[in-house]
Amino acid sequence: MNSNDCSEVVKIAKDYYDSTDADEFYHSIWGGEDIHIGLYNSDDEPISDASRRTVEKMCSLLTKLNKDSVILDVGAGYGGAARFIAEKYSAQVTCLNLSEKENERNREKNRDKGLDHLIKVVDGNFESLPFDDASFDIVWSEDAILHSGNKEGVFNEIYRVMKKGGEFIFTDPMQADNCPAGVLKPVLERIHLDAFGSFCFYRDYASKIGLEEVNIIDLSEMLIRHYSRVKVELENKCNEIVCSIEYMDRMVKGLNHWVEAGKNEFLKWGILHFRKV
């Protein structure tokens, strides 16, 4: 992937996820499989179990998921969802992701599990998808679209590569529909953006381009639980993690901001599910 073709925000996301610090953090704390918000049954359960529950829940909502489905995961991280889907449904999954470091780990894990015949890992930017029109039955994404400064463009690209009748399901940290100006500045600073999407923003834009709403589930309380849980885990494992002190300091401050913004109901999270009509 030629990073000269990317926007500044995309380059920042790539540098972040390719960094040794981020790789160490997401591997040690999050478990190196699913690096998204979890669905918690209790406050002290392992992050990896709760995060896997999000994948299971999303799968249960899809009507087109079976062995013949062709799926695209945009912003696929280490590919945990792809391995779950390939293993459980024998479906073919393409993981598109910016971070070459994560992609290398993804390929290795797929080989180790004997799933590389079902999962393809592609280095790329979801603002410009390197796929033909109408090539996927399902487009999937977890907690990745927030990183784009051009979310309409990402939706246009996803719409383009979806087959007619295909499904688009994703999760994303979002701002509240009526979020007061400026209150999310400390949260947004970390990802170098001016705004998140919101339930209204995604719903309206989806409808504008011909994506019919199937289901929108507000699960915002999980965002608070999740980032609080990550904070505790970080404290518990602080002696084992080999991240730089600067990274850890920024992470602790960042987590506090995310939890606080969630508690103030400025930050939201949920599952959004659409169909291409």
Tell which one of 32, 36, 155, 202 touches ligand SAM (CB under 6 A): 36
- Measured between alpha carbons, how far is 141 from 146 in angstroms, rounded to an integer? 11
Quickly count: other Cβ atoms within 10 Å of residue 66's Cβ: 11
CB of 169 to ligand SAM, least distance (A): 12
The reply to whether 157 sits near ligand SAM by the rule CB under 6 A is no
Instruction: Considering the complex, state which of residue 125 and residue 175 has its C-beta at the smaller distance from ligand SAM.
Output: 125
Instruction: Locate 218 and state its tokens.
Output: 């507000």
Secondary element (H or E) of residue 164: strand 162-175
The reply to whether 32 sits near ligand SAM by the rule CB under 6 A is no
CB of 242 to ligand SAM, least distance (A): 20
CB of 75 to ligand SAM, least distance (A): 3
Nearest to 62 by CA among 276, 243, 230, 275: 275
- Measured between alpha carbons, how far is 22 from 18 in angstroms, rounded to an integer? 7
CB of 18 to ligand SAM, least distance (A): 8
Instruction: Considering the complex, state which of residue 17 and residue 159 has its C-beta at the smaller distance from ligand SAM.
Output: 17
The reply to whether 272 sits near ligand SAM by the rule CB under 6 A is no
Residue 275's DSSP bridge partners are: 167, 212
Nearest to 142 by CA among 254, 226, 211, 70: 226
Sites for ligand SAM among residues 95-114 (CB under 6 A): 97-99, 102
CB of 30 to ligand SAM, least distance (A): 8
Task: Enumerate long-range contacts of 187-192, CB under 8 Å, 24 or more apart.
Answer: 187/254, 187/257, 187/258, 187/261, 187/267, 190/250, 190/254, 190/257, 191/9, 191/12, 191/13, 191/146, 191/147, 192/8, 192/9, 192/12
Tell which one of 32, 80, 262, 270 touches ligand SAM (CB under 6 A): 80
Instruction: Considering the complex, state which of residue 8 and residue 178 has its C-beta at the smaller distance from ligand SAM.
Output: 8
Instruction: Considering the complex, state which of residue 92 and residue 99 has its C-beta at the smaller distance from ligand SAM.
Output: 99
Residues of this chain that interact with ligand SAM (CB under 6 A) are 10, 13, 17, 34-36, 75-77, 80, 97-99, 102, 125-127, 142-144, 147-148
